[in-house]
Each structure stands twice: as C-alpha cells, then as structure tokens.
Amino acid sequence: MRTILAGLLVVVCLAVIAIPAFIVAQPMPAQPRPERDVFQRPIPHDGAPIGAPIWVRLSPFGEHAAGWRGVLSAAASWVYLYLMSALLLVLFPHRMRLITQAVRSGGWRGRLRLFLIGFLATLASGLLVLLARFASVWFVLVIILTGAVFVLSFLGLIGISLMIGGAIRRWAKFAPLLWIELALGSLVLFALGRIPIAGWFCFAVVAAWGLGAVLATHLGSGEAWSLQDWQTEG
C-alpha cells in the first residue's frame, strides 16, 4: 500500500510540473509584419506585452513554456538538476553527508536555526551587493557574491533533497539506494518550485534552509568557524 502511495506522490509531482505549461504559459503570438517609414526602417510601437505577469510566467527553475514543448523543457530541467546534484555528490561525498545530517537532525528548532542563518547570510550578501555599487570593482564583487550564494545554496538543496528522498524511501520501505533518494527528493523540490507564484516562496525558504546548513557545517567540513588556525609569529 505504501508503495502505491509513493507512486501516487510521484504522479502528483509530475502533474504539478506539467500543468503550468497548459495553464500559466502563453503561446508565442504571431508577430505581425512591422510598419516601415519612407526609409524602410521599422516603426516601433509602444505597448505592454500580453500574457501573465513575469513573476507568474517564470519559476525558480526557468520559464513556463507553453504546450508539450514546455513539458519537455521542464523534464529536461529536472534531468539537468538531477545530474548536477549527482555529480556534486560524487565529487564531495563527505561534505554532502555532513550537510544532509545537518538538515535531518535538530528537530524543528534546529531547522529554524539553519533557516535563520541562511536568511541572515542572504541579507548580508544583498547589503554587500548594494554597497559594492560605490566601489570601483562593484561588478566583479556582485558576480562573486551572487555566485557564492548560488553555489552554497545549491549544495544545501542537494542535502535537503536527500533528506526528503530518504524519508520517502524509508516510509515506502524501498531498498536503500542513494540515487533513488536523490531522484525522489529532487523531484519533490522541483515540483514545489514549478508552482506558479507560490513556488518562489517555497524555493526561497528551502534555499535559505540549505544555505544555513552549508554555513553551519563550515561548508560541509564539519569543523567550527574559528580563527584559531590564524597564528602570527613573534
């Protein structure tokens, strides 16, 4: 029975991923031939684009394309997410194990603490990005800070995916297999991110939670943040 319910959960996730392609996404309208002036130059026309607002048409994992093309695009995005997660899991198994243990343990208070750590770190990074506008190398700083937050948050998302997938696997009494847990967990997170509008809120909460787990484990090393190793002679 639990196996059937787990299969239904997968079907629901797939439906959530596919439905926006037929409800939210707008097919590309046919572009009329532009009017031209006496010099055969196109005449621009002012007007607002037709369709859903951009925060509805976009999700944390890309744009909601229309029709079956959108379904295939979403499926390709999930496959890419899974492969990148598997690659990082192979490259950094010890760090990913510690990050996953961090999001699994501590109860709701520990998870709230990780979320607050990630939330405050994101706010601090945003403040530094704003202050970087007044520096001569602000563009480089923006790229570095944004890239660092993105990479660390992605590592945290992998740990949360393994936590969710492991919980589903144990509940359904599947044979223990790391790649199945990663597939189930990443599918659930991807489906949450594909929900119009609400997906942004879900993704922000999960990303901050994952970022907090990465920072709390000292980037997955398990060591404490300390300056004791910084020693000066004399």
At 227 the pLDDT is 67
At 46 the pLDDT is 44
Residue ranges per structural domain of the chain: 2-28+36-216
Structure tokens at 123: 């706010």
Q: Are 25 and 53 in contact (CB under 8 A)?
A: no
Instruction: List 36's β-bridge partners, or say none.
Output: 42
Give the C-alpha separation, 164 to 189, whole Å: 9
The secondary structure element, H or E, covering residue 62 is strand 62-63
Closest among 126, 108, 106 to 118, alpha carbons compared: 126
At 48 the pLDDT is 38
Burial class from Cβ neighbours inside 10 Å (0-12, 13-18, 19+) for residue 163 reads buried
Below-70 pLDDT ranges, the chain: 24-56, 135-138, 227-234
DSSP per position, 84-129 = HHHHHHHH-HHHHHHHHHHHHSSHHHHHHHHHHHHHHHHHHHHHHH
At 49 the pLDDT is 41
**Would you give the DSSP letter of residue 19?**
T
At 40 the pLDDT is 57
59 phi and psi angles, rounded to 5 deg? -125, 165
Q: Are 20 and 67 in contact (CB under 8 A)?
A: no
At 154 the pLDDT is 93
Measured N-to-C along each axis, helices 198-216 and 178-194 cross at an angle, to the nearest 10 degrees, of 140
At 81 the pLDDT is 92
